[in-house]
């Protein structure tokens, strides 16, 4: 903890120390350096109708202050005492009474073309463009976007290495009018520092995103204040306006020199490159030569290729890399990790589940007489289950198992649960009712176990309906002579019995596809991590060895299952043991249930962390539990980043990778669901939920993962989870829906309690 605190403190102090330097201008001017000065000056005149003086084909722009002295008009540098020159009579008329003016100068020599490219470097276009320029031996000037340089450092370095010139096109291709002054300054300064740190390249050249300096006086003046020189273009190819696949016309030449504007970023520029190849050939045929913009520059504005970066430069590049590159790398890694892990685990689970299912179908169970079957105690902990408990008991009463008792434990219910139990017990001697002060589900379960007589304990919830064969098929695993480990518990199959709306239909598919297939696969390799308390059988001796249900977990069944696994017992899956349960029908109840489950499973995983990566626990320790850990840790760390990057990608129209991943996940889930539906003989209508599955799953996963962390940090009180009961569970008629018999069955003699082998 001390080391973590020290690291955080060092980072904060380092940021506080480096940040002022990283945001400081790299070119100091003498006057008017206040951050708000450019906006104040611009506001002193109508920024929409700025006069422009100088030659029409001048390619360098600046803001000049108008200095009127003794009837003469001078053009002055806003950031020093330098007088550029005196205005001509025609310029005086153009200027009128305005306080400042846009001046253009710097005209290329005749028969000289200076190619410039904006918005790169772009991995789709710039390499092909550089190949063309290298083949034609044509130099050019690239006005790069800082974030593109950070994302494509090798391409930027190639631009410099091959002798081209580079200018600043801001960090994010920003709109200066849409941002505050500090943001605009950092768009320029940050890009400058990135270029220095990336390849020791220092440049004072600047081009306004979207151009048009007369309408972007704020950008022009803010850049000028920071020591940058704005370079415009007088021959615009308008290549950005053509859709991919369209033919871009080759510009006509007039014998004069030109700065040519093109783009290597911002979209598909294959058309621009195709046009450029023709343009270069035609220009050369007409006797044109090519140059960077260097002939237009005074020495102070010529870029330096050996600028030594300082700490602030390196820190800026590191910060931008962490912001722009790391998320992309992480998301790309997560994409492929998701694809590979999902594919591997899904198909592995499908194969294992099918093998397990096939073995279960072929397995020949010994014919056992009623006397050979072990006596079973069904433990039923209850809290405020007045609406549903009679139906639950009806289902148990319809069981075809010959020798069992039901121990119902009322945990201080505040409704009429106890009265319903006592009334039911009058007509069914197999039901024993215990009453205790409210202590929680685990305490009620342990009380029932302690007061039960069976060597096998079957557990279920108050809202769960057992099919008639369920107790029998659970118990038979404890009678059969084990070929390996002694069976400690048998996990049954839980199905949703109230498929009333989209939410419960979604849960039904989840129970069938996620839980059934997974548990069948894990059962084959001895790696079941959860035997559901709603439908499971337990060896009494194993329960006593681990001390029964733990009181310090919200997922008592997961905790108990792992505890029994640690003792060396086997946990097996039995799909023929079917229980129908009531799933939450509202979003609020559903979210609350899943938060409890997730938090409880995290508790169990932490409590049994000693099993992780331990070969003595086989596949459970080496695969199942580590994968469960990854399924919590990876979303916890990377889920927000994934959502943000996905949102940004969609905003930029880059939806293809997301669509491919979503389609792959849906197809994989469809295959799993199809296998599961066939295995458990369910309706194929479940497959209709597959396209909607992730739309519910992803927000749910976000909520339960972060909700669990918040709950862990805040602490919690262990108690009953109290979902709203609707008494809506129904078993299909083919499953043997129970009906309460009119005749009372005989009581079970004490002699019918054999020892389990």
Beta strand 404-411 with 165-168 is unpaired
SS3 210: coil
Neighbours of 109 (CB within 10 A): 12
Give yes or no for a contact between 474 and 577, defined as CB atoms under 8 angstroms apart.
yes
User: Comparing C-alpha atoms, which of 105, 116, 114 is closest to residue 62?
Assistant: 105
Residue of 263, 477, 669, 686 marked active site: 263
Question: Which residue matches tokens 């097996």?
Answer: 572
Give yes or no for a contact between 83 and 95, defined as CB atoms under 8 angstroms apart.
no
What are all long-range contacts of 346-350, with beta carbons under 8 Å and residues at least 24 apart? Answer: 346/668, 346/671, 346/672, 348/521, 349/517, 349/518, 349/521, 349/672, 350/517, 350/521, 350/671, 350/672, 350/675
Q: Is the peptide bond before 454 cis (omega within 30 degrees of 0)?
A: no
Q: How far is CA 607 from its chain centroid?
A: 27
Catalytic site residue 263? yes
DSSP 359-428: HHHH--PPP--GGGSPPEEEEEEESS-TTTHHHHHHHHHT---SSEEEEEEEES-SSSHHHHHHHHHHH-
Provide CB contacts within 8 A for 267, sequence distance 6+: 240, 244
Provide CB contacts within 8 A for 333, sequence distance 6+: none
Beta strand 258-263 with 100-105 is unpaired
Tokens read off for 692: 């909607």
Q: Please state the length of the chain.
A: 757
Residue of 59, 61, 64, 118 marked active site: 118
Catalytic site residue 118? yes
Q: Which stretches does DSSP call E strand in 226-305?
A: 229-231, 235-236, 258-263, 289-290
SS3 261: strand
Give yes or no for a contact between 190 and 171, defined as CB atoms under 8 angstroms apart.
yes
Partnered with residue 168 across adjacent β-strands are 144, 206
Q: How far is CA 678 from its chain centroid?
A: 32
Distance in angstroms (rounded) separating the CA atoms of residues 7 and 396: 60
Active-site residue list: 118, 263
């Amino acid at each position: 903890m001390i080391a973590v605190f020290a690291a955080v403190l060092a980072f904060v102090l380092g940021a506080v120390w480096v940040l002022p330097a990283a945001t400081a201008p790299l070119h100091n001017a003498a006057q008017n350096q206040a951050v708000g000065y450019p906006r104040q000056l611009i506001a002193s005149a109508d920024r929409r109708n700025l006069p422009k003086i100088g030659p029409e084909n001048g390619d360098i722009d600046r803001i000049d202050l108008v200095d009127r002295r003794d009837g003469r008009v001078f053009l002055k540098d806003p950031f020093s005492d330098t007088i550029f020159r005196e205005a001509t009579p025609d310029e005086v008329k153009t200027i009128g009474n305005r306080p400042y003016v846009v001046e253009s100068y710097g005209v290329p020599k005749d028969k000289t073309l200076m190619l410039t490219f904006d918005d790169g470097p772009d991995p789709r276009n710039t390499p092909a463009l550089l190949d063309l320029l290298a083949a034609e031996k044509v130099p050019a000037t690239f006005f790069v976007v800082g974030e593109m340089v950070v994302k494509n450092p090798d391409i930027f370095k190639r631009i410099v290495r091959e002798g081209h010139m580079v200018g600043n096109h801001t960090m994010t291709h920003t709109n200066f009018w849409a941002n505050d002054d500090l943001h605009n300054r950092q768009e320029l300064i940050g890009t400058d520092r990135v270029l220095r740190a990336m390849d020791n390249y220092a440049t004072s050249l600047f081009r306004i995103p979207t151009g048009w300096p007369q309408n972007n006086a704020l950008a022009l003046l803010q850049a000028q204040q920071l020591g940058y020189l704005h370079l415009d273009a007088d021959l615009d190819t308008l290549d950005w306006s053509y859709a991919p696949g369209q033919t871009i016309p080759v510009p006509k030449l007039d014998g004069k020199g030109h700065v040519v504007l093109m783009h290597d970023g911002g979209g598909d520029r294959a058309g621009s490159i195709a046009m450029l190849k023709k343009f270069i050939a035609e220009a050369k045929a007409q006797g044109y030569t090519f140059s960077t913009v260097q002939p237009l520059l005074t020495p102070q504005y010529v870029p330096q290729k050996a600028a030594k970066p300082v700490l602030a430069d390196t820190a800026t590049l590191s910060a931008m890399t962490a912001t722009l590159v790391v998320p992309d790398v992480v998301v790309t890694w997560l994409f492929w990790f998701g694809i590979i892990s999902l594919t591997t685990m899904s198909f592995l689970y499908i194969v294992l589940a099918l093998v397990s299912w096939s073995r279960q179908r072929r397995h020949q169970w010994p014919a056992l007489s009623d006397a050979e079957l072990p006596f079973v105690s069904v433990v039923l902990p209850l809290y405020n289950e007045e609406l549903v408990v009679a139906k639950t008991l009806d289902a148990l009463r319809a069981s075809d198992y010959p020798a069992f008792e039901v121990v119902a434990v009322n945990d201080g219910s505040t409704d009429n649960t106890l009265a319903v139990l006592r009334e039911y017990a009058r007509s069914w001697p197999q039901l024993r009712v215990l009453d205790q002060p409210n202590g929680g589900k685990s305490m009620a379960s342990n009380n029932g176990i302690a007061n039960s007589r069976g060597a096998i304990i079957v557990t279920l919830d108050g809202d769960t309906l057992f099919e008639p064969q369920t107790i029998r098929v659970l118990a038979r695993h404890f009678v059969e002579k084990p070929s390996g480990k002694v069976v400690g518990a048998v996990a049954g199959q839980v199905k949703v019995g109230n498929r009333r709306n989209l939410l419960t239909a979604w849960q039904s598919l989840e129970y069938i596809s996620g839980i059934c297939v997974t548990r069948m696969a894990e059962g084959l390799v001895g790696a079941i991590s959860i035997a559901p308390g709603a439908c499971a059988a337990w060896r009494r001796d194993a329960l006593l060895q681990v001390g029964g249900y733990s009181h310090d977990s919200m997922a008592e069944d997961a905790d108990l299952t792992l505890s029994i696994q640690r003792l060396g017992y086997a946990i097996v899956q039995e799909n023929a043991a079917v229980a129908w349960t009531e799933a939450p029908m509202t979003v609020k109840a559903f979210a609350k249930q899943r938060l409890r489950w997730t938090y409880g499973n995290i508790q169990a995983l932490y409590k049994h962390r000693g099993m992780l990566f331990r070969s003595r626990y086989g596949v459970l320790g080496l695969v199942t539990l580590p994968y469960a850990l990854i399924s919590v840790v990876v979303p916890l760390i990377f889920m927000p980043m994934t959502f943000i990057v996905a949102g940004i990608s969609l905003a930029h129209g880059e939806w293809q990778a997301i669509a491919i991943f979503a389609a792959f996940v849906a197809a994989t889930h469809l295959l799993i669901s199809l296998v599961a539906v066939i295995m458990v003989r369910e309706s194929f209508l479940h497959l209709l939920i597959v396209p909607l599955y992730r739309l519910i799953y992803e927000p749910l996963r976000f909520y339960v993962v972060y909700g669990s962390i918040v709950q862990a940090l805040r602490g919690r009180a262990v108690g009953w989870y109290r979902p709203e009961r609707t008494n809506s569970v129904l078993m299909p008629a083919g499953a043997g829906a129970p009906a309460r018999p009119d005749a009372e069955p005989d009581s079970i003699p004490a002699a019918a309690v054999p020892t389990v082998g």
